[in-house]
A and B are shown apart, each in its own frame.
Chain A
Amino acid sequence: MSGSSQLTRRRFLEVSAFVGGGLVVGCRIGKETGPAAALAGAANADGAAATSAASAAGRAGGDALFVPNAWIEIGRDGAITLTCPRNEMGQDVHTAVAMILAEELEVDPREVAVVQAPVDPDAYTNSLLGAQITGGSTSIRDAWEPLRRGGATARTLLIAAAAARWDVPAAECRAESGHVLHPAHGRLRYAELAEAAASLPAPDASAIALKPASGFRVIGKPLARLDGADKARGRTRYGIDVALPGMLHAALVQCPVLGGSVAGFDAEAAKKRAGVRAVVDLGEGVAVVADRWFTAKAALADLAVEWNEGPNASVDSDSIRTALDQAADDPGAVIQHVGDPNAALGRGVAVSARYSTQLLAHMTLEPQNCVARVGAEGVDVWASTQFPQGAQAIAAEAAGVAPERVRVHAQPIGGGFGRRLDVDFIGQAVKIAKAMPGTPIKLVWSREEDVTHDFYRPPSLHLLRGSVANGRIDAFEHKLISPSVTARLFPVFVKDGLDPFMSEGTADFSYAIPNLDLRSVIREVGVRVGYWRSVSHAQNAFAIECFVDELAHSARQDPVAFRLAMLGELPRQAAVLERAAKVAGYSAKPGAGRAFGVASMQCYGSHVALIAVLSGKAEALKIEGLHFAVDCGIEIHPDQVEAQIVGAAVTGLMGALRAKVTLAKGRVEQSNFDDFPIPRMYEVPPITVARIESDAAPGGIGEVGTPLVAPAIANAVFALTSRRLRSLPLEEGGVRFI
């Protein structure tokens, strides 16, 4: 293996030597395809040349080689560029990666220009689907070690170059603020050293020393988001803002029944409108192309489309519920089995319950859109996407070309939440552009298309049984029944009926219980489903944390103490629960008209607990506050950890209280923000986040705040009103939140 990486390194240096210029260090964020060695070499300021050179080297040597996907460049002009394969969608990933790099490179993070990586055709062929995806709260966990190593490698090379120039031992030099310093010789800027550093051999991994946390000057310190000023001034260009010379605008109407197709339409009527340039049949819908989007949208009404409604025409909310119910006796796939839960349930007083959650739309504020151009030079797509590789694949398919002929220009994302892991709208834009060769086409979905043609959060049914002995849970069973997103998007990851994205919160179940049985059943219901911020964590946490509360009640135990007693093996989890209770002023016997609700879980390598404070009565419940405690390991950018928890909590609130997607005759019944309400300012209660300091490796943070909101509020409703709400959204249970 080390021989392979040596080969890669040598080939890379060979290939890049003739270009000359600044220093380039490649590292890999995410799944490794080979040894995790950093790769160093020279290139000019053209990062793309370096990328293809290194990837070519990797490909030539076989699939076990290290293929970098993140590039640290230090130009002769001193410019520092980090080409990052992760997309910025508000989660602050670009600022955080700049901070991680700056720490080891000894530069000001504000001087690091973070550039969105293009899709590398070699990465496309060499890597699994996971290679260029932004999701699952993985970016910082994946980047943490490799980016620090990459920064330290660059720093080591720059110091070596300075030491050689001064003819002193490298140990006498140090790096600080973009310079290498020596007590006798003064200082040299990185800009002056980059070229010489690039000609040096890459240091051995063992020669790279990473800073101890006690020496951090960037990580964990305050810093303004690198994208903040532009976003507050309307200067950030999202996918929907891309403009190209000669570009035309497309609007579309899709079959109102999901999965249906076009039977016929009147193109001539639409073409009579001034400004309409073309009408394109997309199979699942019809697009109108015009010189303005509004013109294209208005002309859709002239098409009089007739539809083949397809196999889902009779799907409705009842049939979905029935489909899940019918799978109740399916044994499903076992996620965890400990002890003998059946025998234990027979011994004690068994409690059983059914919980369910609703379909939800993503409602990204930037509607789905894509600019595409198809011509002799290949295919270009500009899109706000969480999945550039998927974008490349669907564009290639739609245009009928090889993936290598597709260039994906990933843009800043106006809200992802998992919707932009799907690339349907990108394929559509390419199909339209293919019908008008050479003309750039911007496809923008209306909000109505967005709401009625989402990939929805799966509806779920949860069957639970449990029993208590000696004040503790003796047996616990949970079975999740839901459609599988992974079976549709990445079927290779579904093994033996187990979708790993359905066992979140159960595969890493927090509580020590002697007799445990956790399962999942994949049951399709005729509605396309997608990953939705925190995925099955949210559904599983709602059922499990509420049912644990039911068991605490049946055991006449305090719900906080009851949980703590089962968290002896997870001290970090116990600590966040204790902290949340303290911050919230938790009391088992609060004053009349006031109540606390508790929820707790580990997820994404982080630990989180939430206490909801509720007042009022069932017809007028007021959420007084949501009080989180979080331990996410080392915090890169603490201010944005808080921002992510609070923002994710608002997402959780949306799913908890009243938003829902329902179907009738195969059609989604909601269409905009009026009938699918997302929380407005006046509806959001005070949200506090207590963060526990930790020196553990960073955990994920972008989704951690979402799952516990519904169970904490539902548990507070029970504490306040003695009404146990087992279905989402909670207002369906006859209560009302003000």
Chain B
Amino acid sequence: MIDFELNGERVEVDAPGDTPLLWILRDDLGLTGTKFGCGKSLCGACTIHLDGTPVRSCQLPIAEIAGRKVTTIEGLGGKVALAVQRAWDERQVVQCGYCQSGQVMAATALLVQNPKPDDAAIANAMSGNLCRCGTYGRVRDAIHAAARTLGDEA
């Protein structure tokens, strides 16, 4: 049994310790907002927050998360996430949308770390998240917009 905090609630999972968190989320817990894309930390579709840091859940063995805090797109909240998702709506970022959970998770983590990222900081933080539809320009615009919103509120 491995227990950890998932989206604010304590969960217990009975699975081999080498099972990646991604498959526990999707197959055991029914949280399918976190996506499988590559299995090798190459695409970022499976990005979650582990103790607030963006991490690829496809290569994160559950043995390593005992007692730690996991946030998925389903549990994402707070004013930064809200600003990011509203900016996503406003800029109409999505196309097929499959990568967008990961993009939103990465963008939220970026803005928590760096409230006013420039283009280079955004590219640096977001280049691990592939978008096969090519929405990068709008992802960048939306991150700037969310940063402005949060700056105005502050």
Residues in A lying within 8 Å of B, measured CB to CB:
89-92, 224-225, 227-238, 240-241, 243, 249, 274, 291-295, 363-367, 412-417, 444, 446-447, 639-640, 643-644, 646-651, 672-674, 678-682, 684, 686-687
Contact = CB atoms under 8 A, between A and B. Distances in A.
Given A228-B89, A673-B43, A243 B30 contact: yes
Most chain A CB within 10 A, of B85, B94, B135, is at: B94
> What are the 3 tightest A-B residue pairs by CB atom distance, in nearest-first order?
A234-B33, A650-B134, A231-B97
A236 B137 CA distance: 22
A651 B134 contact: yes
B96 A89 contact: yes
A492 to B, nearest CB: 30
Contacts of A228: 88-89, 92-94
Given A90-B94, A274-B16, A643-B95, 5 more contacts: A225-B92, A234-B73, A294-B19, A414-B35, A680-B128
Contact of A292 (B15, B42, B74): B15
A339 to B, nearest CB: 41
A293 B94 contact: no
Nearest to A673: B42
A365 B74 contact: no
Contact of B42 (A90, A295, A672): A672
17 contacts: A225-B92, A228-B89, A232-B94, A234-B32, A234-B72, A293-B23, A294-B23, A294-B27, A364-B132, A365-B96, A366-B98, A414-B96, A446-B39, A650-B134, A651-B134, A674-B42, A680-B136
B136 A681 contact: yes
B20 interface: yes
A684 B134 contact: yes
A680 B129 CA distance: 7
A232 B130 contact: no
Given A233-B73, A292-B23, A294-B23, A684 B97 contact: no
A241 B74 CA distance: 14
A224 B89 contact: yes
Contacts of B73: 233-234
Contacts of A414: 35, 96-98
A293 B96 contact: no
Given A414-B35, A681-B126, A640 B92 contact: yes
B38 A447 contact: yes
A85 B32 CA distance: 26
Contacts of B138: 643
Contacts of B37: 365-367, 447
A444 B33 CA distance: 16
B16 to A, nearest CB: 8
Interface string B21-50: 001001110101111111110110100000
Contacts of A229: 85, 89
Contacts of A412: 96-97
Interface string B90-126: 0011111111110010000000000000000011101
B133 interface: yes
Contacts of B148: none
A276 to B, nearest CB: 12
A231 B100 contact: yes
A454 B97 CA distance: 22
Contact of A365 (B72, B89, B99, B139): B99
A384 to B, nearest CB: 9
B69 interface: no
Given A92-B95, A643-B95, A681 B140 contact: yes
Given A232-B85, A240-B36, A447-B37, A365 B132 contact: yes
A172 B137 CA distance: 50
B130 A225 contact: no
B43 A365 contact: yes
Interface of B: 15-16, 19-20, 23, 26-28, 30, 32-40, 42-43, 45, 72-74, 85, 88-89, 92-101, 104, 122-124, 126-140
A236 B38 CA distance: 20
B124 to A, nearest CB: 8
Nearest to B34: A234
A291 B130 CA distance: 29
B104 A232 contact: yes
B137 A684 contact: yes
Contact of A674 (B16, B40, B122, B127): B40
Contact of A678 (B33, B132, B137): B132
A447 B33 contact: no
Most chain B CB within 10 A, of A236, A363, A444, A639, is at: A236
Contact of A682 (B28, B43, B127): B127
A643 B137 CA distance: 10
Nearest to B37: A365
A684 B136 contact: yes
Given A233-B73, A292-B15, A680-B130, A238 B88 contact: no
A237 B130 CA distance: 19
B92 A234 contact: no
B44 to A, nearest CB: 10
A594 B24 CA distance: 52
Most chain B CB within 10 A, of A91, A249, A414, A644, is at: A414
A234 B74 contact: yes
Contacts of A680: 127-128, 130, 136
A733 B42 CA distance: 27
B145 to A, nearest CB: 13
Given A234-B73, A292-B28, A678-B130, A366 B35 contact: yes
A238 B97 CA distance: 10
A25 B59 CA distance: 51
Contacts of A648: 134
A646 B134 contact: yes
B93 A90 contact: no
B35 A237 contact: no
A235 B33 contact: yes
A366 B100 CA distance: 12
Nearest to A229: B89
Most chain B CB within 10 A, of A229, A364, A679, A681, is at: A681
Contacts of B137: 646, 684, 686-687
A573 B58 CA distance: 47
Contact of B40 (A92, A644, A651, A672): A672
Contacts of A643: 92, 95, 135, 138
A444 B27 CA distance: 12
Contacts of A687: 137
A650 B95 contact: no
Given A650-B134, A678-B132, A447 B30 contact: no
A672 B88 CA distance: 28
A639 B92 contact: yes
Contacts of B139: 681
Most chain B CB within 10 A, of A92, A365, A366, A644, is at: A365
A315 B40 CA distance: 29
A415 B94 CA distance: 12
Contacts of A240: 32, 35-36
A299 to B, nearest CB: 12
Nearest to B103: A232
A237 B133 CA distance: 18
Contacts of A238: 98
B45 to A, nearest CB: 6
B38 A673 contact: yes
Nearest to B93: A232
A360 to B, nearest CB: 13
A639 B35 CA distance: 27
A447 B100 contact: no
Contacts of B95: 90-92, 643-644, 647
B132 A363 contact: yes
A703 to B, nearest CB: 13
Given A647-B133, A647-B135, A90 B27 contact: no
A730 B100 CA distance: 30
Nearest to B139: A681
Contact of B132 (A231, A415, A646): A415
Nearest to B123: A682
